[in-house]
Amino acid sequence: MSDLTFEELLEIKRDGHTYTAAQIDRIVLGYADGEMPEYQMSAWLMAAYINGLNADETVWLTDAMVRSGRTIDLSSIPGIKVDKHSTGGVADTTTLVLAPLVAACGVPVAKMSGRGLGHTGGTLDKLESIPGFRIQLEPEDFLAQVRDIGVAVMAQSPDIDPADKMMYALRDVTATVPSIPLIVGSIISKKIAGGADAIVLDVKVGSGAFMKTEEQARTLASELTRVGRALGRDVVCIMSDMDQPLGMAVGNSLEVIEAIETLRGEGPAALTELCYTFGSRMLTLGGVATDDNIARGMLKEAIETGAGLAVFERWIEAQGGNPQVARDTSLLPLSPYSRDVTVGHEGYISGFDTEGVGRAAMLLGAGRATKDDDIDLGAGLMLHVRVGDRVHVDTPLATLYAANERLLDAGEERLMSAFRVSVTSVVAPPLFHEL
């Protein structure tokens, strides 16, 4: 352990110098143990944000974060445990589709998920819109459920990677979220502490992502891969588009409905394709398919035969939720007030401010402005158009759902400034930027 004071450790990064592994340990573990106060960690995060962490420092940061708490041991579950993570997007209900679908194909899914914050959605909030669903599981029940039905998703318990939870909460309010070394430490440490052997990462690029440019996203992807491998995990990154929302549903129960439709083979094309692409990597990494084509065929079959939806029902039931939602989505909450909004222009949809679409859903009640806000699980919006679509003045842009007219007004106003119409036709952005 380093014997420098926290103040002396801060001076090192303030002045642009580099740390030893012991010094990084002292900072991360000192903060997680409550020895270093929040004001010093806030200053450290800003110094790290501005002056960066080098290749070794980023690996040491990640490793120290893993050691800040307990780790989950998945060795009692047979097979290679593959986890999937997204850097955060809008209308991205992939996990709700992939978890049961991949499990139906023989790869166990033991996943810890988070809540939405800001304009991005979170798997736990979506699951909580299913009546009765429990997101808190005892570790032994979590493992038993994965062994029995192949899938369990729970809230990250507070004693796993506490450094990440504590640092993320400060980053969120100190303008230090979009730092590549800090994002890498946060994501990889969580996945390793959660027991993953292999990790498939969806690095989002575009107006709805933390990384707005392809160059930033490529650097993040290569760092995630490098650090994961340095710590002995197999990591695959795929860069996918966030210049428009992935699916058509933005909001918690609405995204559950969209996931169920996708498991029935009736989901939106881009979301379905993303599920095939990520699902096939998970099956090959999990060792149940020898190549992506075979894996893709298995996933298609699990959708066509209803095997994926059947696992979804068993999973919901195992965690106390009403499995009937898979057959009758009217059992899910939907906010009582709705409104169709029209495009108001003649031409072609040329782009979205995707973060703005997420913010519109937040204003309708679907997201939190701060960590402790309540959300309306039945609020949100269904988009009806995508980039490249020809539109008229009265073409429906979206249907909004909220608890009252005032919230509908606020959501509508935000949504109307989050898309663009051009007079000439435009080519839709590719779904994948790099595989």
Q: Which residues of 21-41 are buried (b: 16+ CB within 10 A; e: fewer)?
A: eebbbbbbbbbbeeebeeebb
Q: How many CB atoms lie within 10 A of CB 413?
A: 12
Rounded to 5 degrees, what angle do the CA atoms 254, 257, 260 make?
A: 155
Active site residues: 85, 164, 171, 186, 190
Binding segment for ligand URA (CB under 6 A), chosen from 47-55, 181-189, 220-228, 423-431, is: 181-189
Partner that binds at residue 239, options ligand URA, Ca ion, none, CB closer than 5 to 8 Å by kind = none
Taking the least distance from each CB to ligand URA, the nearer of 44 and 276 is: 44
Q: Which of 62, 68, 87, 262 contacts ligand URA by CB under 6 A? A: 87
Smallest CA-to-CA distance from 261 within 190, 203, 296, 312 is with 312
157, 281 Cβ separation under 8 angstroms: no
Taking the least distance from each CB to ligand URA, the nearer of 41 and 397 is: 41
Q: How far is the CB of 397 from ligand URA (least distance, A)?
A: 29
Binding segment for ligand URA (CB under 6 A), chosen from 180-188, 195-203, 317-325, 395-403, is: 180-188
The reply on whether position 61 binds ligand URA by CB under 6 A is no
Taking the least distance from each CB to ligand URA, the nearer of 183 and 385 is: 183
Q: How far is the CB of 184 from ligand URA (least distance, A)?
A: 8
Binding segment for Ca ion (CB under 5 A), chosen from 89-97, 164-172, 197-205, 350-358, is: 89-97
Binding segment for ligand URA (CB under 6 A), chosen from 54-62, 183-191, 354-362, 427-435, is: 183-191
CA 41, 166, 367, 216 torsion: positive or negative? positive
Q: Which of 121, 251, 286, 380 contacts Ca ion by CB under 5 A? A: 121
Taking the least distance from each CB to ligand URA, the nearer of 93 and 186 is: 186
Q: How far is the CB of 85 from ligand URA (least distance, A)?
A: 7
Q: How far is the CB of 171 from ligand URA (least distance, A)?
A: 7
The reply on whether position 92 binds Ca ion by CB under 5 A is yes
Q: Which of 187, 192, 402, 418 contacts ligand URA by CB under 6 A? A: 187
The reply on whether position 186 binds ligand URA by CB under 6 A is yes
Q: DSSP states of 357-397 as a string?
A: HHHHHIIIIIS-SSTT----TT-EEEE---TT-EE-TT-EE
Smallest CA-to-CA distance from 303 within 256, 253, 258, 266 is with 266
Going by their DSSP bridges, the two strands 82-86 and 198-205 should be labelled as parallel
Taking the least distance from each CB to ligand URA, the nearer of 62 and 277 is: 62
The backbone torsions φ and ψ at residue 407, rounded to the nearest 5 degrees and listed phi first, read -70, -35
Partner that binds at residue 187, options Ca ion, ligand URA, none, CB closer than 5 to 8 Å by kind = ligand URA
> How far is CA 366 from each of CA 90, 172, 204, 235, 344, rounded to the nearest angstrom?
12, 19, 21, 32, 25
Partner that binds at residue 92, options ligand URA, Ca ion, none, CB closer than 5 to 8 Å by kind = Ca ion
Taking the least distance from each CB to ligand URA, the nearer of 191 and 314 is: 191
**Based on the number of CB atoms within 10 Å of its own CB, is 403 exposed (0-12), middle (13-18) or buried (19 or more)?**
middle
113, 156 Cβ separation under 8 angstroms: yes
According to DSSP, residue 264 is labeled T
The reply on whether position 125 binds Ca ion by CB under 5 A is no
Smallest CA-to-CA distance from 386 within 351, 337, 354 is with 351
Partner that binds at residue 87, options ligand URA, Ca ion, none, CB closer than 5 to 8 Å by kind = ligand URA
- Which residue number has the CB closest to ligand URA? 186
CA 339 – CA 381 distance, rounded (Å): 9
Q: List CB contacts of 18: < 8 A, sequence separation 6 or more.
A: 12, 54, 56, 57
The reply on whether position 279 binds Ca ion by CB under 5 A is no
Binding segment for Ca ion (CB under 5 A), chosen from 85-93, 127-135, 175-183, 409-417, is: 85-93
Give the footprint of Ca ion on this chain (CB under 5 A): 92, 121
